[in-house]
Amino acid sequence: MTMSSTMLESAKNLEIFVPVVVVRKVAEEFEGDVPEERASLLSLPGVRQYVSNAYLSLHIGLRQPIVDSNVVRLYGRFFGFSFDGETRRKKWLLELAAALTLPRIFKDYNYAILDLARKVCKKKPLCPECPLVLRCEYPLRRK
């Protein structure tokens, strides 16, 4: 697949441009198949740890932690550590997340933690509705 300059010009922002570039690279360098190795995935434009781990875990079936900013917030509150926008890229955080992502149920765990972080451990957390409330540091510290 080749991309004309008209197509590139029509990609008005990064949100549109990145997927187009990824599709082109997959088509040209990987013969149309999305690669299944981390290094190759990370070579794709705009693909970083989160996307590569999500793809490897949920589509390829390899045990990988999936950590987005919501999950960092949940872990930070649960364990009682401070966090900011860079925390999700820290090696120690990824190691912690990897240890929590249990073998055999890693896919279910990843879906569950992403869901819980997004829907329950929101910016304004719904602690009384959370299944982790009895073990979580956050409500204890706020008493």
Residues of this chain that bind ligand SF4 (CB under 6 A) = 74, 77-78, 120-121, 125-127, 130, 132-133, 136, 138-139
Greatest Cα pair distance, the chain, in angstroms, is 61
Q: Give 39 or 134: the residue with its C-beta nearer to ligand SF4.
A: 134
Matching residue, tokens 């009895």: 134
Q: Give 44 or 71: the residue with its C-beta nearer to ligand SF4.
A: 71
How far is the CA of 76 from the CAs of 53, 79, 109, 143, in angstroms?
20, 6, 17, 18
Q: Give 85 or 128: the residue with its C-beta nearer to ligand SF4.
A: 128
CB of 57 to ligand SF4, least distance (A): 21
C-alpha closest to that of 97 among 137, 130, 135, 57: 57
CB of 137 to ligand SF4, least distance (A): 7
Rg of the chain's alpha carbons, rounded to an integer?
18
Q: Give 35 or 125: the residue with its C-beta nearer to ligand SF4.
A: 125
